[in-house]
């Protein structure tokens, strides 16, 4: 999937912008606060139904405007061209896909797979348990049709159990939630385990190639999996009742990264950690392509930060090998010299985009 035309109206500093990106690499250059990240935010809004910078529409709608709009034409893998659009108001959202109204943003996200790599992506290594779980679940959401429903059911049951723990922590009242949490939690864990057994060697291989260091990744399910989840929950019941929330289970899952046998967060520099995180996400995109035959769109904000020229070239080479459409931002117009192949460049100033020749 790739965008062939993109129109953005009234999103932060962007009053009106029209771009025709290429299917491969697109470089967006401009000073800080010029609108580079806002363009990526617009693409994210189009593909997922929400912003990656704010959940409140009135925080990204341009001052003085009543709504933000992002419209695009996309070309799917089969060659079909489809119109997509989203309109965000403070009190409502309207989404259209191929001339039909879309009620659920999750359906939009499934049709428009998107990988987002922010400037501080190394947080995934240093302090990002939630970010590592998001990485873990991204491929499952896009490849396993039933995963989103299973994940939603688990989270709903977890919230109800936690509410019971906070209000009347009675073991008998918890029994129905424990039974449902065990059933959905074990299914969630098994689905993750099967998926990760396939993909983790690929992710480790790409990260090893990019870092030129031996990278290994291990799945930690959120409890001692040698014990059934039901027994683990029973053993933790007293502590759960004392703290008012469920302390173990798939919601506590994590990925442990090691480099040359040592914990990654104690070994890698910030630049190496950023490169590792890019490798992890691009490996997910590659696996998604292999499993579904569909390419994700890749957004990388401020690639040059923390990365030297050699490593930037590694990233570009991996993007070209992957074949996904990508949007990469930089404060410098010279980033294209590192690409080593054809690209389309845009310069942005105060929300106005100009194609570079």
For strand 326-330 and strand 25-29, is the pairing parallel, antiparallel, or unpaired? Answer: parallel
CA separation for the pair 326, 312 (Å, rounded): 14
Q: Does some domain include residue 41?
A: yes
User: The tokens of 164 are what?
Assistant: 């019971």
Q: In the prediction, which pLDDT does 164 show?
A: 93
Q: Does some domain include residue 175?
A: no
Q: Does some domain include residue 98?
A: yes
Q: Does some domain include residue 274?
A: no
Q: Does some domain include residue 337?
A: yes
What domain count does the chain have? 1
Q: What is the CATH number of the domain that holds 298?
A: 3.40.50.300
Q: In the prediction, which pLDDT does 278 show?
A: 95
Per-residue pLDDT of the chain (357 residues; tens, 9 = 90+): 999 999 999 999 999 999 999 999 999 999 999 999 999 999 999 999 999 999 899 999 999 999 999 999 999 888 899 999 999 999 899 999 988 898 888 888 888 999 999 999 999 999 889 999 999 899 899 988 899 999 999 999 999 999 999 987 688 889 999 999 999 999 999 999 999 999 999 899 999 998 999 999 999 999 999 999 999 999 999 999 999 999 999 999 999 999 999 999 999 999 999 999 999 999 999 999 998 899 999 999 999 999 999 999 999 999 999 999 999 999 988 899 999 778 999 999 999 999 997
Q: What sign has the CA pseudo-torsion 221, 222, 226, 231?
A: negative
Q: Does some domain include residue 230?
A: no
Q: What separation in angstroms does the CA of 151 have from each of 189, 275, 334?
A: 10, 29, 43
Q: Does some domain include residue 262?
A: no
User: The tokens of 15 are what?
Assistant: 């009053």
CA separation for the pair 1, 114 (Å, rounded): 10
Domain span at residue 21 reads: 1-113+294-357
Helix (H) or strand (E) holding 324: none
Per DSSP, 121 falls in state T
CB contact at 8 A, 336 and 343: yes
Q: Does some domain include residue 196?
A: no
């Amino acid at each position: 999937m790739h965008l062939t035309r993109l129109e953005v109206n009234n999103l932060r500093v962007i009053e009106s912008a029209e771009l025709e990106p290429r299917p491969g690499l697109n470089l967006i250059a401009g000073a800080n606060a010029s609108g580079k990240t806002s363009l990526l935010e617009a693409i994210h809004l189009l593909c997922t139904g929400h912003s990656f910078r704010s959940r409140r529409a009135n925080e990204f709608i341009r001052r003085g405007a009543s709504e933000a709009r992002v419209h695009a034409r996309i070309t799917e893998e089969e060659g079909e061209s489809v119109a997509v659009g989203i309109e965000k108001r403070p009190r409502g959202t309207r989404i259209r896909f191929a001339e039909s109204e879309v009620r659920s943003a999750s359906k939009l996200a499934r049709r428009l797979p998107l990988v987002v790599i922010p400037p501080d992506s190394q947080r995934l290594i240093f302090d990002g348990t939630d970010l590592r779980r998001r990485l873990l679940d991204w491929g499952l959401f896009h490849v396993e049709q039933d995963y989103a429903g299973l994940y939603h059911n688990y989270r709903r049951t977890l919230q109800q159990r936690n509410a019971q723990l906070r209000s009347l922590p009675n073991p008998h009242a918890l029994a129905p939630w424990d039974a449902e949490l065990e059933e959905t939690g074990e299914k969630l864990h098994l689905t993750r385990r099967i998926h990760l057994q396939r993909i983790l060697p690929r992710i480790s291989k790409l990260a090893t190639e990019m870092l030129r260091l031996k990278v290994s990744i291990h799945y930690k399910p959120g409890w001692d999996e040698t014990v059934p989840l039901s027994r683990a929950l029973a053993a933790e019941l007293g502590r759960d009742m004392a703290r008012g929330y469920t302390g173990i289970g798939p919601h506590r899952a994590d990925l442990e990264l090691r480099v040359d046998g040592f914990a990654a967060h104690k070994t890698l520099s910030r630049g190496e950690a950023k490169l590792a995180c890019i490798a992890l996400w691009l490996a997910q995109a590659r696996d998604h392509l292999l499993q579904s035959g569909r390419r994700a769109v890749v957004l990388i904000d401020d690639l040059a930060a923390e990365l030297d020229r050699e490593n930037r070239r590694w990233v570009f080479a991996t993007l070209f090998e992957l074949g996904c459409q990508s949007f990469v931002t930089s404060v410098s117009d010279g980033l294209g010299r590192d690409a080593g192949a054809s690209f389309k460049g845009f310069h942005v100033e105060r929300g106005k985009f100009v194609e570079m020749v």
